[in-house]
A and B are shown apart, each in its own frame.
Chain A
Amino acid sequence: MTTTPERTRVPAPPSAVDTETLSSQSGGRAGRVPRWLLKTISPIVLIALWQVLSSVGVLDDDTLASPATVVETAAGMWRDGSLQSAVGTSVLRVLAGLAFGVVAAVVLATVAGLFRRGEDAIDAPMQMLRTVPVIGLIPLLIIWFGIGETPKIVLVGLAVTFPLYINLFAGIRNVDSGLVEASRTLGLGWFGQVRHVILPSAMPNFLTGLRYSLGTAWLALVFGETINATSGIGYEMNKAREFFATDVIIVCLVLYAILGLVADLIVRILERGLLSWRPAFSGR
């Protein structure tokens, strides 16, 4: 028994369609200026403009020294050794403050992150204190520690502690509970879970916090050094202010910028090594 179903009329397919060619990578783009070169053009133009304005006398040296003068001054400071000793002093201050701050933040965040009792004891005061601008503590620090190295290092330490604590605590608390559960079924005890699951998973947050706190560390240093310092980049800057030496001030600002960049580069290298497991990270 066969039945022929009623057939609907299907229109015949068209015999031709309009097309366009999409890919022809060869040619066209070959003669173009590379992107990095394009990116460097505008800073160079700005510096050239600054030089021109200084040369024709629109910018006098008491307002802003010309780029050529700045380079000359930097070379001079290098020759007499004041540049190296200023950078050395400032870097040591940041490193000392950083060391204290990182240790404090890691200890506090680990205790608060891993234990509920620790969170009760530590997190509330930390959240309250972090709203206090660190710079505002300078008068107190001077009263407590005088005007030597200690208040500067403490200031940098405090500036590092808070951002790092906040990030690391959040990192520990945001661990994927599924992974912790899996590690329990694999027979890992509490220490094993902390070591193999919780701390590695908080590592990205730690590095984010570290990068941020390096920024605040330099900021704290600038403030710390412009008040009651007898050495360091900030001291050179302060001294220059009294003589209207804008060239020295610019040299010091450039030094701060370069040191900040170097610090950022170091954290990036750390990330490359420690976070190579992350898919979002294209380490090349």
Chain B
Amino acid sequence: MATGVQRTVSAVSVRGLTRRFDDGAGSSRAVIEDLDLDIEPGRFVALLGASGCGKSTLLRILADLDKDVTGEVTVARRRAVGFQAPRLMPWKKVWRNVVLGLPGKPDRERAVAALTEVGLAHRVDVWPKVLSGGEAQRAALARALVREPDLLLLDEPFSALDALTRITARGLVEELWQRHRCAVLLVTHDVEEALALADRVLVMQDGRIGYDAPVELDRPRDVTDPEFQRLRVELLARLGVH
């Protein structure tokens, strides 16, 4: 999958992607089958789908964590991933977590700058376990953005947060995206979250992108906007919820 470096007009370009899982009985089931997808640079795309539809599998493939695939996958070389759990190394202070994996010596100033951006300037020198759930997720976001990615892959990053923290975290992600202008692929099961953040909404069905529509609402988005509500009802119908 990792081919040479080329300049492309897409942050993500997928052609004929298929991923099969053995079901134990000798046969295999395709979770993703012949999927095509393009994401332009700088776009915020939300990927919705019922649970088990393969949306997280797709994200893992784009993150190069799952290589057992057929088809053609091209992704931005500079990419970062935010998981459902923060996945910070508990034995490293927060700032060391943020710059972990960057070339050269751990650059404290760079870490502090990134942490300040997510509002964690006061948490630079603590152990990750001291952080609250929302703070840990923000630290993980700082760790992703410090890499200056062209593509940010987010796998339900807000789902483990409480309702109030989730709203703040969403606002933060939108703000950071507007500043960094990277392409974002946000996997979520929350229709309102998708509509609050994304320029484009995808729904995954039967192993493919079954629905693909732009969201042309002004930012910041207003939940009470009738157009917002219309899209919400349409997406819920697409997802089989009435």
* Chain A minimum-CB-distance residue to B129: A279
Q: In the bound complex, how far is the Cα of B83 from the Cα of A197, in angstroms? A: 17
Q: Give min CB distance, A264 to chain B, whole Å.
A: 23
Contacts of A203 in B (CB 8 A): 91
Are the CB atoms of B89 and A196 closer together than 8 Å? Answer: yes
Q: In the bound complex, how far is the Cα of B64 from the Cα of A278, in angstroms? A: 31
Mark interface residues in A189-221 (1 if CB within 8 Å of B CB, else 0). 000100011001101000000000000000000
B residues 85-138 with Cβ under 8 Å of A? Answer: 85, 87, 89-92, 100-102, 127-130
Q: Does B81 contact A (CB under 8 A)?
A: yes
Q: In the bound complex, how far is the Cα of B204 from the Cα of A149, in angstroms? A: 71
Q: Does B43 contact A (CB under 8 A)?
A: no
Contacts of B91 in A (CB 8 A): 200-201, 203, 277
Interface residue tally of chain B, by bracket?
Answer: 20 to 34
Known: A192-B101, A197-B89, A200-B89. A185 touches B129 (CB 8 A): no
Contacts of A134 in B (CB 8 A): none
Partner of B81, one of A182, A197, A200, A277: A182
Q: Does A60 contact B (CB under 8 A)?
A: no
Contacts of B130 in A (CB 8 A): 279
Q: Does A61 contact B (CB under 8 A)?
A: no
A residues 114-142 with Cβ under 8 Å of B? Answer: none
Known: A277-B90, A277-B127, A279-B129. A178 touches B100 (CB 8 A): no
Are the CB atoms of B65 and A186 closer together than 8 Å? Answer: no
Are the CB atoms of B101 and A188 closer together than 8 Å? Answer: yes
Are the CB atoms of B81 and A278 closer together than 8 Å? Answer: no
Q: In the bound complex, how far is the Cα of B2 from the Cα of A184, in angstroms? A: 14
Q: Does A230 contact B (CB under 8 A)?
A: no
Partner of B90, one of A181, A185, A192, A278: A278
Partner of A186, one of B90, B101, B129: B101
Are the CB atoms of B90 and A178 closer together than 8 Å? Answer: no
Contacts of B127 in A (CB 8 A): 276-277, 279
Q: Give min CB distance, B80 to chain A, whole Å.
A: 7
B residues 26-72 with Cβ under 8 Å of A? Answer: 63-65
Q: Does A28 contact B (CB under 8 A)?
A: no
Contacts of A197 in B (CB 8 A): 89
Most B Cβ at <10 Å: residue of A182, A200, A203: A182
Contacts of A182 in B (CB 8 A): 81, 83, 87
Q: Give min CB distance, A207 to chain B, whole Å.
A: 13
Question: In the complex, how many residues of chain A place their beta carbon closer than 8 angstroms to a beta carbon of chain B?
Answer: 20
Known: A186-B101, A188-B101, A277-B127. A181 touches B89 (CB 8 A): no
Are the CB atoms of A178 and B89 closer together than 8 Å? Answer: no
Contacts of B83 in A (CB 8 A): 178, 182
Q: Give min CB distance, B17 to chain A, whole Å.
A: 19
Q: Give min CB distance, B67 to chain A, whole Å.
A: 11
Mark interface residues in B142-174 (1 if CB within 8 Å of A CB, else 0). 010001000000000000000000000000000
Q: In the bound complex, how far is the Cα of B92 from the Cα of A179, in angstroms? A: 12
Give B contacts to A, CB under 8 Å: 63-65, 79-81, 83, 85, 87, 89-92, 100-102, 127-130, 143, 147
Besides A182-B87, A185-B79, A277-B129, 8 other CB < 8 A contacts? A179-B87, A181-B65, A183-B100, A184-B65, A185-B65, A187-B147, A200-B92, A277-B92
A-B contacts, 22 of them at CB < 8 A, read A182-B81, A182-B87, A183-B100, A183-B101, A184-B64, A185-B63, A185-B81, A186-B100, A187-B102, A188-B101, A197-B89, A200-B89, A200-B92, A203-B91, A277-B90, A277-B91, A277-B92, A277-B128, A277-B129, A278-B90, A279-B129, A279-B130
